[in-house]
Amino acid sequence: MGFLSQLSIMPLLFVAMVFCQHEDYDFEDEYDPEPDEQPSLFHINPSVDYEVSHFSGPLRCAKECFCLTAFPLSMYCDHRKLKMIPAIPIHIQQLYLQYNNIEAVSSQSFANVTILREINLSHNKINSYMIDYGVFAKLGNLVQLHLQHNELEEFPFPLPNSLEQLLLGFNKISRLPANALQGLVNVTMLDLCNNNLDDSDFKGKQLSNMKNLMQINLCNNRLQNMPPDLPSSLMYLSLENNSISYIPENYFNKLPNITALRLSNNNLQEVPYKVFNLSNLVELNLGHNKLKQTFYIPRSLQHLYIEDNDIEIVNITLMCPFIDPVNTNQLTYIRMDQNKLTAPISTYAFFCFPHIRIIYYGEQKGTVSQSTQLRTPVFQRFLTPDEYEEARNEHEVEYEHEEDVVEREEDYIYLH
Ligand SMILES: *[C@@H]1O[C@H](CO)[C@@H](O)[C@H](O)[C@H]1NC(C)=O
Ligand SMILES: *[C@@H]1O[C@H](CO)[C@@H](O)[C@H](O)[C@H]1NC(C)=O
Ligand SMILES: *[C@@H]1O[C@H](CO)[C@@H](O)[C@H](O)[C@H]1NC(C)=O
Ligand SMILES: *[C@@H]1O[C@H](CO)[C@@H](O)[C@H](O)[C@H]1NC(C)=O
Ligand SMILES: *[C@@H]1O[C@H](CO)[C@@H](O)[C@H](O)[C@H]1NC(C)=O
Ligand SMILES: *[C@@H]1O[C@H](CO)[C@@H](O)[C@H](O)[C@H]1NC(C)=O
Ligand SMILES: *[C@@H]1O[C@H](CO)[C@@H](O)[C@H](O)[C@H]1NC(C)=O
């Protein structure tokens, strides 16, 4: 449930992000599991003698680690330069081993601890061939496994079907065994960013069997195509920094719940006109591609990033072919700096997108000379729904002569 409640605050994060105007934030930060069962929030203070915290001798806590009376099911062994996994008392459910020098995961370490629910082995030196076969699969209660920032070359296989969050970012994974994902029906979040995966790793892998998958992160890999066969539960798809040049027209037909789509830093030159017509899409990031044209904007979309593309004209009629006054477009933010725009956006934009707050133009690239410097880098507009209605009505009558309209036009981006 922690994950779901975090999703519900996504719009807030988006807003914060819009105003920061930087985009490469970390999914891990956003989706860090909430410490709803046991706190993992406190910091280890090296000046404190945690030996005192050992409340009932070594059987209750490994000597290299510390345990707290208040959280008897957790064992904290992070940041200790450990080379081996310490002995794990059988009652432990949360095991924190991040930031050590652990190279191997032996089945002996986990022999008697089948009630483990969470293992954090991130930031260690684990190689795929140093993980005993089936060591994790035996942990039938494991829901979270953190293995990011290690030296894995292969997807760890097999894994227990109980898993819900699997973090494998920042490894060197280039192999996904044929049945690696089979049975992982409870996984909601799979992070594989920053690995060496290519299209062949996903052929015939039946990602669609992961029926609860809400988020998949595949950024910074070597994909040239959109991953096939994603499950229809998916809400959050991250594909930044790959080499994708093409999106099939009906690619999202089976993904109605997509809420955020990140495809920045790919090789897209064009996209099918209606490909993003998804009724739940809120964030769309297509920055740093080679797009020449805009496309249909779905009603739900709030944030659009199309900076650093080759767009010469923002054709609002294409983005918004008709206005539905009852179900207005939700777009509030467009970032479109580093394109090849030479003309101001049509005023029609503000009727199509009545909630628009910021159109970020920044600088345009290409043959633009000094004299065509943009007058205002950021266009901002704040209209209440009532003001919008008023403006709309005025537009129908005598829009051209309205004083505030003239003022607003001052804020436009003119090229001379
Ligand atoms: C696991 O339990 C068995 C039987 O109780 C015991 O012999 C063995 O030493 C234990 N292994 C570990 C690693 O604690
Ligand atoms: C696991 O370790 C990572 C560091 O890689 C840390 O950011 C995260 O909070 C830890 N997770 C838990 C649940 O302790
Ligand atoms: C998947 O999650 C459901 C609901 O939490 C649980 O009942 C079921 O046992 C889990 N499946 C596995 C294979 O652990
Ligand atoms: C899409 O989301 C809705 C609402 O959260 C949910 O009820 C539905 O099951 C989801 N669809 C799929 C295919 O998972
Ligand atoms: C994408 O790759 C570039 C260069 O390799 C890197 O600077 C940037 O941080 C990456 N972006 C993301 C979101 O990982
Ligand atoms: C977008 O999809 C909706 C259904 O979800 C449909 O009613 C609408 O006509 C589509 N818009 C376009 C421009 O195809
Ligand atoms: C915008 O697109 C529409 C529909 O394709 C087209 O009729 C119109 O000429 C375009 N406008 C500009 C300024 O290119």
Question: How is the chain split into domains, by residue range?
Answer: 259-416
Region of 220 (left: φ > 0; alpha: ψ -120 to 50; beta: rest) is left
Q: Is the pLDDT of residue 267 over 70?
A: yes
Cis amide prior to 89 (ω within 30 degrees): no
Using 50, 70 and 90 to split pLDDT, how confident is the model at 111?
confident
Cα 179 to Cα 184, 200, 205, 209, 409: the distances in Å are 10, 14, 7, 11, 59
Q: Which ligand has the nearest atom to the CA of 327? A: 6
Tell whether ligand 5 has an atom less than 6 A from the beta carbon of residue 265.
yes
Query: In a mutational test of the pocket of ligand 4, which residue from 257, 278, 279, 300 has the highest number of ligand atoms less than 8 Å from its CB?
Result: 257
DSSP output for 154-212: B---S--TT--EEE--SS---B--TTTTTT-TT--EEE--SS---GGGGTT--GGG-TT
Which of 55-64, 193-202, 354-363 ranks highest by mean pLDDT?
A: 193-202
CA distance 161 to 44: 32
User: Do 301 and 275 form a contact (C-beta atoms < 8 A)?
Assistant: no
Atom of ligand 1 nearest to the CA of 109: 13
Which residues 6+ apart lie within 8 Å of 74 measured at CB?
Answer: 38, 40, 67, 68, 92, 93, 94, 95, 96
Q: Is the pLDDT of residue 10 over 90?
A: no
Query: In a mutational test of the pocket of ligand 4, which residue from 213, 233, 258, 282 has the highest number of ligand atoms less than 8 Å from its CB?
Result: 233
Q: Whose alpha carbon is nearest atom 11 of ligand 2? A: 120
Average pLDDT rounded to a whole number, residues 340-363: 87
Q: How far is the CA of 195 from the centre of ligand 2 (A)?
A: 19
- The CATH code of domain 259-416 reads 3.80.10
- Average the pLDDT over each of 1-5, 193-197, 257-261, 320-324 and give the range with the smallest value: 1-5
Nearest to 316 by CA among 359, 346, 271, 275: 346
What pLDDT score was predicted for residue 185?
A: 96
Average pLDDT rounded to a whole number, residues 368-395: 47
Q: How far is the CA of 333 from the centre of ligand 6 (A)?
A: 22
Q: Is the pLDDT of residue 334 over 70?
A: yes
Q: Which residue has the higher pLDDT, 398 or 296?
A: 296
Task: Express as a percent the part of the chain with pLDDT over 70.
Answer: 74
Which of 52-66, 94-108, 318-332, 384-398 ranks highest by mean pLDDT?
A: 94-108
Using 50, 70 and 90 to split pLDDT, how confident is the model at 271?
very high
Tell whether ligand 6 has an atom less than 6 A from the beta carbon of residue 279.
yes
Q: Whose alpha carbon is nearest atom 9 of ligand 3? A: 162
Ligand 4 is surrounded, with C-beta below 6 A, by 232-233, 257
Q: Whose alpha carbon is nearest atom 3 of ligand 1? A: 112
What pLDDT score was predicted for residue 344?
A: 78
Q: Which residue has the higher pLDDT, 372 or 83?
A: 83
Q: Whose alpha carbon is nearest atom 13 of ligand 5? A: 24
What pLDDT score was predicted for residue 39?
A: 36
Tell whether ligand 5 has an atom less than 6 A from the beta carbon of residue 409.
no
Query: In a mutational test of the pocket of ligand 3, which residue from 116, 117, 143, 162 has the highest number of ligand atoms less than 8 Å from its CB?
Result: 162
- Average the pLDDT over each of 2-16, 108-122, 320-334 and give the range with the smallest value: 2-16
What pLDDT score was predicted for residue 59?
A: 60
Average pLDDT rounded to a whole number, residues 210-218: 97
Q: Is the pLDDT of residue 86 over 90?
A: yes
What pLDDT score was predicted for residue 33?
A: 37
Q: How far is the CA of 108 from the centre of ligand 1 (A)?
A: 9
Average pLDDT rounded to a whole number, residues 322-347: 90
The per-residue pLDDT for range 393-412, each reduced to its tens digit, is: 443 322 232 233 323 333 33
The per-residue pLDDT for range 36-63, each reduced to its tens digit, is: 333 333 344 444 444 434 444 446 899 9
Using 50, 70 and 90 to split pLDDT, how confident is the model at 389?
low
What pLDDT score was predicted for residue 56?
A: 45
Q: How far is the CA of 314 from the centre of ligand 7 (A)?
A: 10
Q: Which residue has the higher pLDDT, 383 or 405?
A: 383
Q: What single letter denotes the amino acid at residue 315?
A: N
Using 50, 70 and 90 to split pLDDT, how confident is the model at 343?
confident
What pLDDT score was predicted for residue 157?
A: 92
- Give me the chain's average pLDDT, please: 80
Average pLDDT rounded to a whole number, residues 287-294: 96
Q: Which ligand has the nearest atom to the CA of 86? A: 1
- Average the pLDDT over each of 37-41, 162-166, 224-228, 370-374 and give the range with the smallest value: 37-41
Q: Which residue has the higher pLDDT, 206 or 159?
A: 159
Could you count the other beta carbons within 10 Å of the beta carbon of residue 120? 23
Q: Which residue has the higher pLDDT, 120 or 383?
A: 120
Average pLDDT rounded to a whole number, residues 193-204: 95
Q: How many residues does the chain have?
A: 416
Average pLDDT rounded to a whole number, residues 284-301: 97
Q: Whose alpha carbon is nearest atom 7 of ligand 1? A: 112
Q: How far is the CA of 199 from the centre of ligand 1 (A)?
A: 43
Which of 212-226, 307-321, 334-348 ranks highest by mean pLDDT?
A: 212-226
Average pLDDT rounded to a whole number, residues 347-374: 75
Q: Which ligand has the nearest atom to the CA of 150? A: 2
What pLDDT score was predicted for residue 272?
A: 97
Q: How far is the CA of 299 from the centre of ligand 4 (A)?
A: 19
Tokens of 330: 């939700």
Torsion of CA 12, 17, 18, 19, to 10 degrees: 100
Q: How far is the CA of 98 from the centre of ligand 2 (A)?
A: 7
Q: Which residue has the higher pLDDT, 342 or 240?
A: 240
Q: Whose alpha carbon is nearest atom 11 of ligand 3? A: 162
